[in-house]
Structure 1
């Protein structure tokens, strides 16, 4: 027995020790106390070592969870811990004493473990610059997330001498190691298949163009957030063999300095390029020769790629289903896309959002499967379909089931003014803000838009706000619309008869004609025929605010469920109608109802009618309202007194008698 113990001790002594430093009072959630260190051993590990804790005490460890794995010091401080013997299996995984682990000077016989990952994940204070020997990677298959979140890590001593022959997975190896920037020119081996997230969020900027990438299948987010990366200023990365790669999503996302020629990469196996160059603000390399015939996802591929302006018209996009935000915030992009095959695309929402100079003819796009088109051209301020009317040919909604939205589709498209009256919008439910701030839009001067089948639309809020639109809309079916909020606000020339509209489900008319300076319902009194809802509540706040031309009778409106009439006729220069018959029994808000009215702009007859009519029915109390300086006569004094007296206690401002 004595000889066995001697041999065991001799075996431990004969191997080089694993030497590291720890600071006990770097405590965190889940760590040991400020005077302790707990080794991150695993149930799957193999252990037979003696640990010198650096305070003249030692422990013999053979089981991962024995009590001696946690050591208590008499005084908090920084200690050198030396492990002699077999120590296979080590994982912080962003827990435990990760912040206490400061450095390694010698790996010795230490081994990471088989089929593990996250070895030093979360060791924010780890410094490996002083390592003097080579880490034994025998039987190790993966270095996944090995140094993830090691924010103090700048270099790893002798890392380029590691034997990587068995490694197949480098996923996230330095992910979030924000200071890491070490030459790794001889690091990669042919057995590696994934380098996804490897340098994400690091300071890495070294030439790795010589890597053998023949078997790499996944480069997702490899340099995402690596703002310094530009391959060390070398174009050699363009020679990478990428024929096996299937996923390049977010590969250079937020790699704001990257701009190397990669146009010769083989991309024939890639299926996902979503966000590949998102916010890669310096990138502008020719990649038009790429084979993207298997790509299904181009969502946000060039989003925020503010320098990019290369011709990619010959890309085979026949399998692409997602083009969400593809050129979102591509400020300089203005290349033809007329050859793109969009037969299978279902999502084009935000595709050209804030593509400031884009103005190409996309009239040949096949839109038959598109169900998401919100904000497609929002703030594409130069877009007018290249001056071509072809966009009217879009075969919208021909094969899809269900409904979809055109929310903010052309919002702030300052130059857009094409005829799109032939579009099939029968399944569209939301046209809110569709042309808002598209200041030149008048449907190309055509009245065809009146033929739109709007029977499914429920929301028209802000649809034509601040446009020069003035086409007839009397044929529109608005029977399902619930909101007209801001619909014609600041539509400076609109003056069409919309009296035939069915507004029976509408609950929000707020600011509908606010500052719509020309609107007078086309000179027709038909608007008086509107049949308002009699259930729920209706909002008419600021409905005709500064509608300088409006003066049509609306006395027949049933306002019995209206609750808000704040500023409804404020600054309406010519409105002078009798609305004394209105039922305002549920109105709680009448602030500045007719502010700025004068005896010239609102007659005593009509103010008398208001006081006499409204006082004859129940009203909410108390109410504050304004009729400017408009005057009433003795004929309505009694009615006014009913409103201002108890129990109603209204506060009314007017011009008196």
Structure 2
């Protein structure tokens, strides 16, 4: 009956009745739209003729009245069609037109908060960021029409439904669930936290095309009810899955088809996923670097993962925490799964078990004293997860002392010796070791590490020193004489070593390719390294991030191979040295490069930035910077978001810049004095 009423209202052009019926949820059928279309076309036929007659003063009054009436009907018909198309229907094109175009995410959030706004009337084609979108819609009860939203252009859906209570949806729940089920996510790159804390969510999303998604961190974390089959998802682009199913207490679906070969982070992935017990033995974990507490609290999990290759793991040989008393419950140490700080980087899970099981009981520990045991991260990978203990294999072969020296040939042996308090570092010959990554990760004298003798180590064959002193709070020994001529990787070598401030000017760094975050968080570091040969370095991202006092010349550096300088000097508050001689022609990312470098004010106008694509936040809150940049070729830059925001002194002309490829200029000048002028130059509205 309600559709019949709507049809009659359309035929009689009763606009008020039409609106009331539509708001009550009456479905607009094709017949109804056809009738409206027919009426409008009839009015349009008379339109030109009637308008012309209005201007003819010779026409009698009665005829003029007739014409006015016809025009009135024409306008009603036009209004009728407009209303119907606003509600999402068009007979001829079958596409939504005359919709309200939403200009930006801020406006969309306002409309989501307003329960009187019909969601089907919104054109969201300009919005590519849906992050935290429904945070503002927690009180909304009417979601009718949302299934008309086209999301094929959206790239970011991180925390989109975080904390959203699906049970509170009163109207349009079918529209909402159908929309989610058929969501076009083909261009989405970020789904981190998408359903974080959405306790009642449990909808079918098996058909999603997630082939572009890189970040799945915390996606279903706290989604207590979720238990849908997503085994057919193409996750081959994924690089991060930290906490993906953390506390997803109901989830127990197959994931064996997943291609995780590009994933580097899996920490806490199944933390507290108490129901999960699926076969994931065939996962390719070769590139995974982080698995901390991956199965912590996964009480049901009891699968064989002997085939996993954890050769890339960094954190399992790194961060240590003290053992709590209640972890000593087992009589047989071999069943304690990693209650010891041997979790080597260069072995498979199966080999790892051999190390863990390799002794009969507590009294038989040769190199480890339980009362002082410190844990490596791979312990946390299995914490609380119940595994079947196999037969006890042999204990790891630790080299005996010969001619006054221990000579380890594997990284595992070196770790065992370094953390044996009865072995002096001076007595360890590391001349055959090529990988020192993570060796003193989070170490300190206060935790029982005596660095004496390490200054004389033969490091000539070492290629990897990444994370070596990460979070090492008191590196007091001199390493300036180390031979680092073969080292290729120094990523985060001293990162977060807050008090590190030792000379390094003698180092030959000619072969180093990666210096990303090398000194990040070294708050006290202030040493002259101007003579370093960095000609082969490709990545300097975050290199001096947080080095508050660093202020030595670097202008002589050959940075011609560097492609990433993002965050390079971020929060290096006092840095103010010339860099105008740098060849930055290969750099593609300069985002946040000088962010909060309060004293920096050096000329950069000679830089070739023609290949840079990202300048987001580059000079954000640089208190002193005010140098000419008008000569820069920024034709390839796509992101200038907040580039000069809060740089109060910057007032240089930029009228020669070609910003035709820039996609994001939001808050580009923040509260800078020349905001209005620059916005006018670039046509920002």
Same fold (TM over 0.5): no
TM-score by length of 2: 0.43
Q: Please identify the structure whose Cα radius of gyration is greater.
A: 1
> Normalized per residue, which structure has more helix?
2
> Normalized per residue, which structure has more strand?
1
TM-score by length of 1: 0.45
